[in-house]
Amino acid sequence: MIRLALVLALLYLQSVHGSNIVLTNDDGWAVALVRAQNDALKAAGHDVVLSCPAENKSGTGSSSATATVLASPCEFDTCPAGSPAEGFNASDPHLNYVNAFPVDSARYGIQTLAPQFFNGSAPDFVVSGPNVGNNLGSTVLISGTVGAACEAAHEGIPSIAFSAATGSQVSYTTLESNPDSADTLAARTYAALSVQFVQALTAAGGTILPTNVSVNVNYPSTSNCPDVSNFSFVLSRINEDTSATDVEWCGTTNLPAESNVVKQGCFASVSVFNASTKSDVDANTQAFVLGRINGSLTCLPDGSSSNGQVTNDGAITMETTTKTTVAAAMVMAMMTS
């Protein structure tokens, strides 16, 4: 039965267009969350090159510096002191570190690694994260995960910053050594959800995001949401502003703040933001992004939407299941079998 499921999953995923993706973060190149994301994107048929800081650089925002030779080992002793400023895993050169900041890692991935691995081309997309811990509201100003996504947008590459409530700063080796731990299960769940969202955003082709715009996605804890199917995506704004006029969605022109969305259950917030100011964009820009992902969004229990219906437990469920939802479930099956 498992083999049949894997065969069906592989056949299905072959029909999903793969993208050339640079994967980055601020927690470091060897942390479990980003390696789980790397696995999931590859399993979904994407060509991925990982370019992350050599060490944990959380909270460094959009700081930048010239990469230097390592004075101490990479995180989790994945490379020794004295290693070059940029390096890679000897058994998989798609896994790369940069001994500098998240912005520098993203830039190196876009400008140097992508042409090497993508036949001279720039990446189609940059995924930053998932981050260990949420980046909500004003925290985006100091988040290296968000900073890396902004760098991609500045260079004309569409990007998303993903951040997750559950997870610890643990080595990628725990994904195999402790496959049933809360950290591993959360990493696999968040990774599958991120694949689902990336594929929903990019599915239509054409212009994925407006110039200098990125998306901030935050996942709630997996404590009460252990499975991919438990989650729903909700359009939100970074900063709460009851006087703002946002795109009309779920019967209102004032979107909920992302910090409020993730508190209400198994809802992931989706905020569209300006990559230069790291603040909310206008209603027209929100509308552009909404037009690409509205089939993947739901409303909070106290809202309304023509795309969803309220269930007995107050949650919103989509009336139709998209291909990306099916693909995410299949990816989870492949990673956990």
User: Using 50, 70 and 90 to split pLDDT, how confident is the model at 302?
Assistant: confident
Residue 278: which of 126, 139, 155, 132 has the closest Cα? 139
Cα–Cα distances (Å) from 225 to 42, 64, 230, 324, in that order, read: 24, 36, 5, 19
Question: What is the arithmetic mean of pLDDT over 232-252?
Answer: 97
The pLDDT score that the predictor gives to residue 94 is: 98
Distance between CA 300 and CA 72 in Å, rounded?
A: 47
pLDDT tens sequence across 90-108? 999 999 999 999 999 999 9
Residues 6+ apart with CB under 8 A from 187: 32, 33, 36, 37, 130, 167, 175
pLDDT at 327 over 70: no
Under 8 Å between Cβ of 246 and 283: yes
Question: What is the arithmetic mean of pLDDT over 239-250?
Answer: 97
Residues 6+ apart with CB under 8 A from 190: 33, 36, 37, 130, 162, 164, 166, 167, 219, 222
Angle (CA) 109-25-198 rounded to 5° is 85
User: Using 50, 70 and 90 to split pLDDT, how confident is the model at 303?
Assistant: low
User: Using 50, 70 and 90 to split pLDDT, how confident is the model at 304?
Assistant: very low
pLDDT tens sequence across 183-233? 999 999 999 999 999 999 999 999 999 999 999 999 999 999 999 999 999
pLDDT at 182 over 60: yes
Structure tokens at 239: 């900063």
Cα–Cα distances (Å) from 159 to 67, 83, 139, 259, 290, in that order, read: 23, 30, 18, 21, 15
Distance between CA 109 and CA 25 in Å, rounded?
A: 11
pLDDT at 29 over 70: yes
- DSSP code of residue 3: H
Question: What is the arithmetic mean of pLDDT over 139-159?
Answer: 98
Higher model confidence: residue 259 or residue 313? Answer: 259
Question: What is the arithmetic mean of pLDDT over 34-62?
Answer: 98
Which residue blocks in 100-143 are alpha helix, DSSP H? 102-108, 114-117
The pLDDT score that the predictor gives to residue 305 is: 36
Distance between CA 319 and CA 9 in Å, rounded?
A: 23
pLDDT at 248 over 90: yes
Cα–Cα distances (Å) from 144 to 26, 56, 163, 191, 232, in that order, read: 5, 10, 11, 19, 25
Average pLDDT of the residues of the chain: 88
